[in-house]
Structure 1
Amino acid sequence: MKTWARLSLYGLGIVLTFGGAYGVAGAVVPESTVDSWTGGDEMDEHGQDHGAESAVTTETTGTGPADSGLAGLALGAAGYELSSIDAPTQVGEAGELRFQVRDTSGAPVRQYTTAHEKDLHLIVVRADGSQFRHVHPELDETTGTWSTPWEWAAAGSYRVYADVTPAGAEESLTLSRTVQVAGDLDPVVPQPARSDQVDGFTVTVDGELVAGEASELTFTVTRDGEPVVALEPYLGAFGHLVALRDGDLAYLHVHAEGGDPEPGQTAGPEIAFAAQTPTAGRYLLYLDFQVDGQVRTAELVLDAAPGADPAGPESGPHPEEH
């Protein structure tokens, strides 16, 4: 059974690197730098000044469409803003990740419109595309603070995305900030990969990305060489895809199109998406799928070829830059 989704990626920008160390494996943040870090502004109505106990939060771009107009590269849009991120500062330190979405007056938003079965989707990924996580925090409606248990598995510079629709907003928003986590750095360089194995499942992708053109991508899920036909609904669909452009982490959060799955309905082994990328370059794909009540994420990497009317050299990163 094929399930269709439409993917449109638009994004330019710059990801802040972690202390300039991404070109050197095993780099260490100087102790003086770590000592100087603070946790950003106090969280409104949360009653705490977290100071040095919080991971460092860095603004990405400006606060409105005029600053970027690109999904996932601004801390604010349409009159809403993502607060500083309160989180552990060190690798292996257990704690909570907390933040607020604020309106034009600076007050925390307390009511949201549900999208894909959740009021907020939190995506966290390191600047090199590794350490991807997709979770759903809990909202404290008395303070407007979102929180989820959190522990960093690796040091680096992370992009934190809040995909959310405040009540009364005309459309969903993807707000983001950059968070720095201290520790030994072991960077990776994404390479093209059409197959990934996770917990005994193999996920492959067929199709080619061409900049500026509609491209069909079909993901196939197998286990022990046999097709998996028991894909279960997850967030109201049989497949969930996050796509990021390597180099700037421009973001799109997509789901399969079509009607909502019926109770007890399953699908597989194929999940198909129609993809349209704005520029040639490398794209990082994260496919969430659910089997036997457990969600797994396959990570794949594709290069988009130049289209008939290729974008100029300033339009975005290209595979050869890696």
Structure 2
Amino acid sequence: MSQRFRTSRRALAAAAATAALTLTLAACGSDSGSDSGMSGMDHSATPSTSASVSASASASAPGDDMASMPGMEPVSAGNGLAAAKDGYKMASSAATVPAGKAIAYRFAITGPDGKPVTGFAVDQTKRMHFYAIRSDLTGFQHLHPTMAQDGTWTVPLAALQPGTWRLYASFTPDSGAGKGKGFVLSRTVKVSGMAMAAPLPKASGTATVDGYTVSVKGDPMAGMAHQLTATVTKDGKPVTDLQPYLDTYAHLTAFHQGDLAFAHLHPETEVDGDHGGPTLGFHAEFAQSGNWRMFLQFQTGGKLHTASLTLHVG
């Protein structure tokens, strides 16, 4: 994860693939998934298995055109508040999904020519990173979809709690107009049922998860590059057995309170075997001031842990 978004894109799919993709996306309303005990507050990145569910579909989801609304323009290429940028678009017909069930959410990335993109560069060992978060900054999921030959991506989302969710696709085309550039696009979906919003925890430099304590230090300012330092301990002792996860010892993602702007913080600590920690450095750039909900993922003993905390950016 020390590398920045790398970029390249392979050849675009033929017109026949476009037609096939259109039919596939139109059928997204009947995804397959299975019942899951995960709640909207679960921060695990491990999805549930699939089973049968039903999701209603429409041409677009609320909030997909935020970039065209006054005051809602993305402040940077990677804040993720638009479904389309520089000719690339995150396309899906699913606007609503049922609550309490795992679903197979399907989408595609179309290029400037309107055809589905099928060539993506590998970034942090994956060609696509996918994130889901509810409007109150709960229910974080970080997943890695699989792509069909026609450019349709399928991601196994764990059960979602009622409310509005924003779904992000982070990718880098490996050829064409977008070569050399990383994109973060997003769409919103409505999850049926009565939404019960959870208050955002107060800003704190410490979080606990699975017996581990994560402490984050740094005083970031909006629009400026800063370094954040995370320290992992357990039972008061430094943790030195962190295992590589996505080519790094920790993956750090943040979302801005209110508009859900996206920030991906790049690690500066080099990976050297299964003995990472206890201290990890990150290059941080936040475009906006205010509170950001941060999700730090790290792995020990083959198990992925996700610590969440609120950071205030001046």
Q: TM-score, normalised by structure 1?
A: 0.73
Deviation digits for residues 84-126 of structure 1 (CA, Å, limit 9, x no counterpart): 2538721122331111111123221111111111000001111
Q: 1:189 to 1:85 in 2, by over 3 A?
A: farther
CA distance in 2: counterparts of 1:81 and 1:279, whole angstroms: 24
CA distance in 1: counterparts of 2:233 and 2:3, whole angstroms: 20
**Contiguous gaps of at least 5 residues in structure 2:** 5-19, 30-53
CA distance in 2: counterparts of 1:237 and 1:78, whole angstroms: 30
| Aligned-pair CA distance for 1:55 | 6.2
Residue 150 (structure 1) aligned to one of 153, 157, 178: 157
For 2:151, give the aligned amino acid: G
Q: Percent identity?
A: 34
Aligned to 1:134: 142
The residue matched to 2:97 in structure 1 has which SS? coil
Q: 1:111 to 1:303 in 2, by over 3 A?
A: same
Q: 1:80 to 1:280 in 2, by over 3 A?
A: closer
Aligned to 2:277: 268
For 1:158, give the aligned amino acid: W
Deviation digits for residues 286-315 of structure 1 (CA, Å, limit 9, x no counterpart): 11111111211111111123xxxxxxxxxx
CA distance in 2: counterparts of 1:293 and 1:181, whole angstroms: 32
CA distance in 2: counterparts of 1:247 and 1:60, whole angstroms: 17
For 2:199, give the aligned amino acid: V
- Is the 1:88–1:96 contact (alpha carbons within 8 Å) kept by the matching residues of 2? no
| Aligned-pair CA distance for 1:180 | 0.8
Aligned to 2:12: none
1:199 aligns with 2:210: yes
The equivalences for 1:100-119 within 5 A come to: 100-119=108-127
- Is the 1:123–1:134 contact (alpha carbons within 8 Å) kept by the matching residues of 2? yes
CA distance in 2: counterparts of 1:72 and 1:174, whole angstroms: 5
Deviation digits for residues 176-210 of structure 1 (CA, Å, limit 9, x no counterpart): 11111111211022121322221121112122233
For 1:296, give the aligned amino acid: H
| Aligned-pair CA distance for 1:257 | 2.9
- Is the 1:80–1:101 contact (alpha carbons within 8 Å) kept by the matching residues of 2? yes
Deviation digits for residues 5-57 of structure 1 (CA, Å, limit 9, x no counterpart): 99xxxxxxxxxxxxxxxxxxxxxxxxxxxxxxxxxxx9514174445833672
CA distance in 2: counterparts of 1:151 and 1:243, whole angstroms: 20
CA distance in 1: counterparts of 2:214 and 2:3, whole angstroms: 17
Deviation digits for residues 203-256 of structure 1 (CA, Å, limit 9, x no counterpart): 121222333444432211112222110111111111111122211111122331
The residue matched to 2:24 in structure 1 has which SS? coil
Range with bigger deviation, 185-194 or 160-169: 185-194
1:240 aligns with 2:251: yes
Aligned to 1:163: 170
- Is the 1:88–1:97 contact (alpha carbons within 8 Å) kept by the matching residues of 2? no
CA distance in 2: counterparts of 1:4 and 1:46, whole angstroms: 36
1:174 aligns with 2:174: no
Deviation digits for residues 113-172 of structure 1 (CA, Å, limit 9, x no counterpart): 11111000001111111111100011112x211112234331111111100012212211
CA distance in 2: counterparts of 1:4 and 1:110, whole angstroms: 25
CA distance in 1: counterparts of 2:269 and 2:209, whole angstroms: 27
Q: CA RMSD for the aligned pairs?
A: 2.7
The residue matched to 1:44 in structure 2 has which SS? helix
CA distance in 2: counterparts of 1:47 and 1:154, whole angstroms: 23
Q: 1:197 to 1:55 in 2, by over 3 A?
A: farther
For 1:244, give the aligned amino acid: F
CA distance in 1: counterparts of 2:182 and 2:153, whole angstroms: 17
For 2:125, give the aligned amino acid: E
Residue 74 (structure 2) aligned to one of 59, 68, 71: 68
The equivalences for 1:1-322 within 5 A come to: 44-46=22-24, 48-50=26-28, 53-54=55-56, 57-58=61-62, 59-62=64-67, 68-70=74-76, 71-84=79-92, 86=94, 89-141=97-149, 143-168=150-175, 169-190=179-200, 191-257=202-268, 259=270, 261-262=271-272, 264-305=273-314
- Is the 2:206–2:214 contact (alpha carbons within 8 Å) kept by the matching residues of 1? yes
Q: 1:178 to 1:47 in 2, by over 3 A?
A: closer
- Is the 1:283–1:302 contact (alpha carbons within 8 Å) kept by the matching residues of 2? yes
- Is the 1:83–1:101 contact (alpha carbons within 8 Å) kept by the matching residues of 2? yes
Q: State the 4+ residue runs in structure 1 displaced beyond 4 angstroms.
A: 3-6
Count matched residues. Answer: 263
